[in-house]
């Protein structure tokens, strides 16, 4: 299914293979193979729920792990009241143990709607522009703004219906791969060159990786680092898209 010694994907051949091999095991193998060619962390073993102009600089991937403090239990606190001056017996009040319940392991992934992973890796491997009439209009006259990839691979509605979900940086380790994300300003996604939408790939030591399409280009993977100078370059501006 690939040209030049398995380096260039033959999209039509891959689509034919997928059409005639719909068993879950086969689809997982195809997805894993494509992820390997794209040099991204493999996620085909993870079960997800599907529903139907400045470039950030790249940096090596370091997966961030969330750890928690061990469970600690405070000793029971007992307060004994002094005897009253009457003939009543001493009144004793025993306070129950004060216990802090901390999770014993990392937090589970958030329950979010994700994109079709196989469709995503196919689009990324192909490298061609993705078009959608509901995406922003680029200067070359095409509707190839970033929203096009999200709508095609995630079955997302038009951007005017997008709402912000959990903040990406605050929940990075809990966000599943291939989750649609975007910049939201005052709760609004704007169809202009300052905004960016794409698909979450994985966390890094000071940000995360996003697959996105810029006007005039096909989908690519970018690394966003803390302290970015613009809205689209700053990972703190991104939220999950509720779809």
Residue from 199, 186, 194, 191 nearest 241 by CA: 199
Q: Determine contact, residues 35/197, Cβ cutoff 8 Å.
A: no
**For residue 190, what are the contacts with CB-CB under 8 A and spacing of at least 6?**
none
Domain parsing of the chain, residue ranges: 49-63+109-242
- Residue range 96-104: mean pLDDT, rounded: 39
Percent of all residues in the chain with a pLDDT value above 70, rounded to a whole number: 61
pLDDT at 186 over 60: yes
Average pLDDT over the chain, rounded to whole?
Answer: 77
Question: What residues contact residue 149 under an 8 Å CB cut-off, 6+ apart?
Answer: 123, 130, 197, 198, 199, 211, 212, 213, 219
Least confidently predicted of 14-18, 43-47, 96-100, 153-157 = 96-100
Which pLDDT does position 42 carry in this prediction?
61
Residue 10 banded pLDDT, cuts 50, 70, 90:
low
* DSSP assigned state of 138: P
Residue 155 reports pLDDT greater than 90:
yes
The CB density around residue 124, as the number of other CB atoms within 10 Å, is 24
Q: Answer yes or no: is pLDDT of 46 > 80.
A: no
Confidence band, pLDDT 50/70/90 cuts, at residue 103: very low
pLDDT at res. 20 = 63
Q: Which two tokens stand for residue 68?
A: 């928690």
pLDDT average, residue stretch 196-209: 97
C-alpha torsion sign, points 225, 231, 237, 239? negative
Nearest to 184 by CA among 205, 202, 169, 206: 169
Q: How far apart are CA 228 and CA 56, in angstroms?
A: 8
What does the pLDDT read at residue 33?
A: 72
pTM of the model: 0.63
Comparing CA positions, the residue from 118, 113, 224 lying closest to residue 166 is 113
Q: Is 50 exceeded by the pLDDT of residue 74?
A: no
């Amino acid at each position: 299914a690939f040209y030049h010694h398995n380096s260039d994907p033959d999209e039509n051949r891959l689509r034919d293979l997928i059409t005639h091999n719909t068993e879950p095991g086969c689809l997982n193998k195809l997805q894993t193979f494509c992820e390997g060619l794209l040099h991204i962390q493999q996620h085909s073993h993870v079960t997800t729920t599907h529903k139907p102009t400045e470039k950030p600089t790249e940096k090596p991937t370091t997966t961030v792990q969330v750890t928690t403090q061990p469970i600690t239990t405070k000793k029971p606190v007992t307060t004994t009241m002094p005897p009253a001056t009457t003939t009543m017996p001493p009144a004793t009040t025993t306070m129950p143990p004060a216990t802090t319940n901390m999770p014993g392991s990392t937090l589970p992934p958030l329950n979010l709607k994700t994109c079709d992973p196989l469709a995503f890796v196919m689009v990324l491997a192909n490298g061609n522009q993705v078009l959608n009439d509901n995406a922003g209009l680029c200067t070359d006259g095409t509707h190839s703004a970033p929203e096009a990839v999200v709508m095609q691979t995630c079955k997302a509605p038009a951007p005017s219906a997008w709402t912000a979900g959990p903040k990406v940086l605050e929940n990075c380790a809990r966000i599943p791969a291939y989750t649609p994300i975007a910049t939201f300003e005052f709760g609004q996604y704007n169809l202009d060159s300052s905004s960016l939408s794409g698909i979450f790939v994985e966390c890094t030591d000071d940000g995360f990786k996003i697959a996105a399409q810029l006007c005039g280009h096909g989908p690519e993977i970018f690394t966003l680092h803390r302290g970015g100078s613009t809205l689209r370059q700053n990972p703190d501006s991104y939220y999950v898209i509720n779809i």
